[in-house]
Amino acid sequence: MLRTRVPACRRASAPGLVSSPPDLQAALKRLFGFDSFRPNQQRIVEAVAGGRDVFAAMPTGGGKSLCYQLPALLREGFAVVVSPLISLMKDQVDGARENGLPAAFLNSTLGADEARATWRELAAGRVKLLYVSPERLAVAEFRAALARLGLSFIAVDEAHCISEWGHEFRPDYRTLGLLRPQFPGVPIAAFTATATSQVQEDVVRLLGLREPLQVRASFDRPEIFYRVVRKLEVEEQIRQFVAAHPGEAGIVYRGTRKAAEATASLLAGSGFSAVAYHAGLEDALRRSRQEAFVRDEVAVVVATIAFGMGIDKSNVRWVVHGDLPRSLEGYYQETGRAARDGEPADTALFYGPADIATLRWHIQRVENPLERERAEERLRRVLAFVESGVCRRRQLLAHFGESFEGNCGRCDVCTGEVTLEDATEEARKLLSAAVRTGERFGAHHLADIVTGTTTDKVLERGHQRLPTFGAGAAQPRPFWLALAQDLAAAGYLARGEERTAGFRLTPRGRLLLAGKESFQAARRPERAPAGRRKSAVGAPEAAAGELGLASAGPAVDAEGLFQCLKRLRRRLAAARDLPPYVVFSDKTLRAIAAAQPATPAAFLACPGVGERKLEAYGEEFLRAVRGYLSDGGCPED
């Protein structure tokens, strides 16, 4: 027997949400399908709507777009949204329109007739959100045309790109400094998902923000599990990780185009739906692969850092770094591309000694001394993160100036995957081998010496006659490779400037060798555990309950209903030429599967269902729920 579940979905507000005035509350529900604002959203919306400048640093998935979309409807005229990537603007506009927001974009992908039609719509007041690139705003004639049409405010997305201290500095963003002089009375709101305090000060200064409301939301992403794993056979380690997440969308980041191509080929050859993405591909191929991923036609993208900025795909369930990232900001933002919908997500960072050597080799070739120093400092912070036995979340949040006590239960350190062991004697053996070989060799040769491995290289140099030859045979070779990496990260060993240079002892390393210091090494598994760790949000089946929704009864397979709704979503999205997440997020589908609405009112009560989406999709989703509850079938299966 079918039941109406209006009260269940009405309890679906997430913890910590705040109330709002009736007019804002009504608009929030009507357009976005939410009963309450998330933390900080209402303050930002009211400030922008009231004509005040804003700087907002909010984590990915924190609801930044709502903070400028809703005020655009409340103010006279239209708002300009500066978006970093032309390839994403259509999806951004489609998403806004699906919520009933009159939106458009102007960029080089439009033909002359299409561009003229958009200008006519602007002049007629039928557009409230106009998405443009920073390059377009650099054109004086374009800015002058906007000024004549009643600009209400300017929202700058990915605002950290304007700062040279940011990890994704883009020179074209510097042209945004022209906006304040030309539009002195127009509010400017800057949004970013990753900014240190230094970057924040830079953004405020460069954009000329005047007494802005400055909001730094918590950067904690409790739904993400963080894990660091040492490299052995990294492509096989990545393959095993992907295999542990069957059918789930994910991103693999590699440090070079060659590595991205190799990993993508391996995964595709193993039966996974995977493609490579990097700046060396033709533009059309790169765009088609990005679109295929966004539209759930491809499950895995193996990419360089050229991929991901601004992507709104909400159901990325995992992110892998196959190489050491260049900065903690970059790592945080790249892992943050998972779990935008708030559902649990898994991450793994694989790294090895060669990563450190490669990054240092590149850093030494940076001509500008200041930029070289910045790069060195970024690398030091990354090495401290991967080698420390301290809660990953605590370290990440501290980098952004936020305190966290640790013991998060959602990283490899806090779940006991990483332990600290005294390795003083082993470290001294390795350091001794380095000194006795002239401090000219890398980790692999030193490991061969201490394990007593008679390679050609060892025999040619007579290193089998050293006192340290075989002194560490009780430990396997991977142990010594990892120990060399630990010592390098902790500052006991260092490489010379040449890329092929060997390890030399630092002053601190000589103290350790002399017995004047001790050394503890972090120990972690050689591969990521096969199963995904649950985050504090809980397993997918529990997510609806934690939102306050009524769960499906024992006779109903909630996961099966969710999968049925996903298939329906994909069909509807394909018919409208939209990414599936634009129709509904996974989180909304899980809420629908848990509440099992039987009436339009009950469907509208579910989080993420606004009036526009009820009108567009309500009948078909209600029919699917009824069918599944009656006979377990899914329409068109």
Structural tokens at position 370: 């200041």
Q: How far apart (Å, rounded) are the C-alpha atoms in residues 557 and 559?
A: 5
* Whether the Cβ atoms of residue 332 and residue 338 lie closer than 8 Å to each other: no
> In the structure, what pLDDT confidence band is assigned to residue 184 with cuts at 50, 70 and 90?
very high
List pLDDT tens digits, range 106-157: 988 888 999 999 999 999 999 999 999 888 898 999 999 999 998 999 999 9
- What are the chain's domains? 40-216 (3.40.50.300), 224-416 (3.40.50.300), 420-523 (1.10.10.10), 546-631 (1.10.150.80)
Is 461 strand, coil or helix?
A: coil
Structural tokens at position 207: 């954009």
Per mean pLDDT, which range of 18-27, 51-60, 326-335, 367-376 is the poorest?
A: 18-27
For residue 220, the Cα-to-chain-centroid distance in whole angstroms is 12
Structural tokens at position 491: 């500052």
- Strand duo 419-422 + 274-277: pairing: unpaired
> In the structure, what pLDDT confidence band is assigned to residue 623 with cuts at 50, 70 and 90?
very high
- Average of pLDDT values for 362-390? 86
User: How much is the pTM?
Assistant: 0.72
List pLDDT tens digits, range 294-350: 889 999 999 987 666 556 788 999 999 999 999 998 899 899 989 988 889 999 999
List pLDDT tens digits, range 456-473: 999 999 999 999 999 999
Residue spans of beta strands (DSSP E) within 157-253: 188-192, 213-216, 224-225, 228-230, 249-253
pLDDT beyond 60 at 2: no
> In the structure, what pLDDT confidence band is assigned to residue 388 with cuts at 50, 70 and 90?
confident
pLDDT of residue 538: 34
Please, what is the average pLDDT of the chain?
A: 85
Per mean pLDDT, which range of 77-81, 441-445, 500-504 is the poorest?
A: 500-504
Q: Residue 255 corresponds to which amino acid?
A: G
Q: How far apart (Å, rounded) are the C-alpha atoms in residues 169 and 165?
A: 7
Dihedral pair phi/psi, residue 556, rounded to 5°: -110, 130
List pLDDT tens digits, range 501-531: 688 999 999 999 999 999 887 776 555 554 4
* Whether the Cβ atoms of residue 336 and residue 308 lie closer than 8 Å to each other: no
Q: Residue 260 corresponds to which amino acid?
A: A
Q: How far apart (Å, rounded) are the C-alpha atoms in residues 391 and 567?
A: 38
Helix 283-294 to helix 86-98 angle (10° resolution) is 30
**In Å, what is the CA distance from 222 to each residue of 387, 388, 411?**
22, 20, 10
- Average of pLDDT values for 204-219? 94
Dihedral pair phi/psi, residue 331, rounded to 5°: -60, -45
pLDDT beyond 70 at 14: no
> In the structure, what pLDDT confidence band is assigned to residue 535 with cuts at 50, 70 and 90?
very low
* Whether the Cβ atoms of residue 625 and residue 561 lie closer than 8 Å to each other: yes
> In the structure, what pLDDT confidence band is assigned to residue 193 with cuts at 50, 70 and 90?
confident
Measured between its terminal Cα atoms, the distance across the chain in Å is 23
> In the structure, what pLDDT confidence band is assigned to residue 537 with cuts at 50, 70 and 90?
very low
pLDDT of residue 558: 83
pLDDT of residue 167: 63
* Whether the Cβ atoms of residue 519 and residue 492 lie closer than 8 Å to each other: yes
Q: How far apart (Å, rounded) are the C-alpha atoms in residues 172 and 161?
A: 9
pLDDT of residue 541: 35
HSE at residue 128, side-chain half, CA atoms within 13 A, is 15
Q: How far apart (Å, rounded) are the C-alpha atoms in residues 250 and 257?
A: 18
Share of the chain above pLDDT 70, in %: 88
pLDDT beyond 50 at 244: yes
Q: How far apart (Å, rounded) are the C-alpha atoms in residues 546 and 549?
A: 7
Is 326 strand, coil or helix?
A: coil
List pLDDT tens digits, range 49-78: 999 999 999 987 778 899 999 999 889 999
Residue 297: DSSP 8-state: S
